[in-house]
Amino acid sequence: MSISHIFQIYRRKISAFTHDTRGVSAILIALIAIPLFGFVGLSVDLGRAYVLKSKLSTALDAAGLAAGRNIFASDSEIYADAQKYFDANFPSGYMSTTPITLNSSNLKWDSTRETVTLSVHVDLNTTFMNVLGLPSLTVGALAEVNRDNRGMELVLVLDNTGSMNSYTSGARRIETLKTASKNLIDILYGNDEIKKKLWVGIVPYTTQVNVGPQNINFLSNADRDNILNNTTSIFTADGNNTALGRNVNGSGGNDTVYGWKGCVEMRDHLDGGTKDLSDDPPNNDFVPYFYNSTESYSTNYKNDWATNGVSGSRGPNKYCPPPVLPLTAEKSTIKGHIDKMETSGPTAVNIGLIWGWRALSPRWNGQWYGSSTVNLPSGYSALPLQYGEEFMDKVVILMTDGENTLGTYGIYHAYGRQKQFGIKQGEPGYDPHYHTSGSGNLASKSSSYYKSLDDQKTAQACTNMKAAGVIIYSVIFVSGNEGLFENCATSPKHYFKATTADALIDNFNTIGEELSNLRISK
């Protein structure tokens, strides 16, 4: 019942008394007492109504935020999640009101699932006002929540190693990771193909990262010229002459990259290096990853190029993972790239992490071939954006299913750095995987020593990135160095561990929900 209706009742009561001349004193007392009593009752009951409305509004805001965070779940899950938060803030029967159930009549969202609206009403039993024939007051509340994605450059640094081909909870881990990653993208984009101020990159990693043959300009001049020449390219020695096309600097030309899949060696040593921990841009100093042809040094990990050419599990590109996807605006392109991930080789988390930083660093602005030019802020012609750009975040989600294993297997990888030392595989003095700034090789060291070095690199990479303002989420799937990855994360709340397939998917959903910033608009 409205306030104006209440005052109309008071006026009628007083008007009736003014036409009755019996017992003037009693009338005067009544004329004074009734409105005084009524106004006291009105203030008490309206105060209770105000408290009820405030409590109801708070509960609706919480329920709306919960629904918005889970808006791409099933309807029943959305209602259940919203109800949980509503009940936590508005207990059933609060102030003797009838319990409220959230359903399609009072909790709704638009076709794009961008706006969530809630509207509820309850009846409050009155106390003093009841004597005036007003047994209850109707109190209502309305809330509207908009999904408002804060500007963000996001890079997913994802484990594509051989162990990701294992099964957990009845599913291949790599397939579970693909599902979890695509769900996260759906949460961020909703039903839209492009979101204002949102770009996502993908960095698949093993013990090396594939920058893609389109980024051949990252290489030193001599290596670039070699790979562009069919008659001299070291990658075509097997006779296949595999050609990988690329568009040069957007000019419309089409150079041919012979044999090189896109992996590169690290620019510094595993033992004592620092440049491999930086976001320094290319400076004629990257060299191509090149796995020599050999059957002599390991019967388990032999690499006979003639088996099936340069593009399969043998050849100079052996264990080279799928290429990096630079920051991209289109949801379908991002999800398509996730679907192309495949597994091979051991694990070096720091290598993936550093390339994740380079995919975000403003020092690499304009360096990445194919990086998005969609919806760029004023003053920019390329990505990544500068640190500190207003209302923009730089975020890395780092995922692994195991510990660093550089020293566990006798195979070449990005720290081999064979060209820098001039010692090829099979020659005296060559350690196939660990040249250093010290003795030249670490062949006498144990695998635990190599792992310790790589863990140190990982920890330092995390520190350097966070110091630059990058937000890091870390996710362990099944196993991993928990202390290392929890410390790597921006805070303990940014660290997750999943032991089942469903848990990994839930973790990625949670991260997506956190990254999708919600604001209360009404």
The secondary structure of 265-333, three-state, reads CCCCCCCCCCHHHCCCCCCCCECECCCCCECCCCCCCCECHHHCCCCCCCCCCCCCCCECEEEECCHHH
pLDDT band at 434 (very low <50, low <70, confident <90, very high): very low
Indicate whether 274 and 338 sit together in one domain. yes
Residue whose tokens read 């009549």: 105
The more confidently predicted of residues 295 and 271 is: 271
The mean per-residue pLDDT over the stretch 256-277 comes to: 86
Is pLDDT of 433 > 80? no
Indicate whether 509 and 362 sit together in one domain. yes
The more confidently predicted of residues 296 and 139 is: 139
Indicate whether 132 and 179 sit together in one domain. no
- Residue at 259 is within a domain: no
Indicate whether 277 and 381 sit together in one domain. yes
The mean per-residue pLDDT over the stretch 21-47 comes to: 63
Is pLDDT of 313 > 70? no
The more confidently predicted of residues 149 and 46 is: 46
- Residue 35 CA to residue 38 CA, distance in Å, equals 5
Domain end residue (candidates: 107, 122, 146): 146
- Residue 82 CA to residue 60 CA, distance in Å, equals 9
- CA 175-178-181 angle, to 5 degrees, is 150
What values do phi and psi take at 459, rounded to 5? -60, -40
Indicate whether 71 and 166 sit together in one domain. no
Indicate whether 61 and 187 sit together in one domain. no
Strand pairing category for 115-125 and 107-109: antiparallel
Is pLDDT of 312 > 60? no
Is pLDDT of 317 > 50? yes
Is pLDDT of 177 > 80? yes
- Residue 494 CA to residue 366 CA, distance in Å, equals 30
Indicate whether 140 and 155 sit together in one domain. no
- Residue at 342 is within a domain: yes
The mean per-residue pLDDT over the stretch 248-260 comes to: 60
Q: Are 370 and 214 in contact (CB under 8 A)?
A: yes
Is pLDDT of 140 > 60? yes
CB-based burial label for 378 (10 Å; 0-12, 13-18, 19+)? exposed
Q: Are 25 and 101 in contact (CB under 8 A)?
A: no
Could you give the number of structural domains in the chain? 2
- Residue at 257 is within a domain: no
- Residue at 258 is within a domain: no
Domain end residue (candidates: 146, 174, 197): 146
Is pLDDT of 60 > 90? yes
Q: Are 444 and 438 in contact (CB under 8 A)?
A: no
pLDDT band at 250 (very low <50, low <70, confident <90, very high): very low
Residue whose tokens read 């060209």: 419
- Residue 121 CA to residue 106 CA, distance in Å, equals 9
Which pLDDT score, from 0 to 100, does residue 458 have? Answer: 97
Indicate whether 350 and 492 sit together in one domain. yes
Q: Are 229 and 150 in contact (CB under 8 A)?
A: no
Percent of the chain with pLDDT over 90: 54
Q: What is the pLDDT of residues 182-229, one digit of tens each?
A: 999 999 998 899 998 999 999 999 999 999 989 999 999 988 888 888
Q: Which of 31-45, 259-273, 377-391, 467-481 has the lowest mean pLDDT?
A: 31-45
Q: What is the pTM of this model?
A: 0.75
Indicate whether 116 and 172 sit together in one domain. no
Strand pairing category for 325-328 and 254-258: unpaired
- Residue at 223 is within a domain: no
DSSP string of 138-169, one letter each residue: EEEEEEEEEE-PPEEEEEEEEE-SGGGGSEET
Residue span of the structural domain in which 138 resides = 3-146
- In the chain the first and final C-alpha atoms are separated, in Å, by 24
Which pLDDT score, from 0 to 100, does residue 418 have? Answer: 61
- Residue at 237 is within a domain: no
Indicate whether 173 and 101 sit together in one domain. no
The mean per-residue pLDDT over the stretch 66-70 comes to: 84
- Residue 348 CA to residue 455 CA, distance in Å, equals 9
The more confidently predicted of residues 444 and 142 is: 142
The mean per-residue pLDDT over the stretch 372-395 comes to: 94
Is pLDDT of 408 > 90? no
Classify 188 as helix, strand or coil.
helix
Q: Are 149 and 517 in contact (CB under 8 A)?
A: yes
- Residue 211 CA to residue 203 CA, distance in Å, equals 9
Average pLDDT, the chain: 83
Which of 408, 329, 394 is CA-nearest to residue 364? 394
Indicate whether 165 and 278 sit together in one domain. yes
pLDDT band at 439 (very low <50, low <70, confident <90, very high): very low
Is pLDDT of 81 > 80? yes
Which of 329, 327, 486, 278 is CA-nearest to residue 400? 486
Classify 458 as helix, strand or coil.
helix
Percent of the chain with pLDDT over 70: 76
Which pLDDT score, from 0 to 100, does residue 491 have? Answer: 96
**CATH number of the structural domain spanning residue 358:** 3.40.50.410
C-alpha distances in angstroms, 315 versus 9, 228, 236, 324, 424?
Answer: 93, 18, 10, 20, 15
Is pLDDT of 430 > 80? no
The more confidently predicted of residues 520 and 229 is: 229
Indicate whether 344 and 460 sit together in one domain. yes
- Residue at 240 is within a domain: no
Q: Which of 146-155, 409-418, 448-457 has the lowest mean pLDDT?
A: 409-418
- Residue 21 CA to residue 71 CA, distance in Å, equals 67
Strand pairing category for 392-400 and 471-477: parallel
Domain end residue (candidates: 118, 146, 174): 146
Q: Which of 123-127, 412-416, 511-515 has the lowest mean pLDDT?
A: 412-416
Q: What is the identity of the amino acid at 392? A: M
Which of 204, 207, 203, 211 is CA-nearest to residue 227? 211
Q: What is the pLDDT of residues 334-349, one digit of tens each?
A: 999 999 999 999 999 9
Which pLDDT score, from 0 to 100, does residue 494 have? Answer: 97
- Residue at 230 is within a domain: no
Helix (H) or strand (E) holding 462: helix 447-467
Which pLDDT score, from 0 to 100, does residue 249 have? Answer: 44
What values do phi and psi take at 137, rounded to 5? -120, 140
Q: What is the pLDDT of residues 161-175, one digit of tens each?
A: 999 999 999 999 999
- Residue 413 CA to residue 266 CA, distance in Å, equals 9
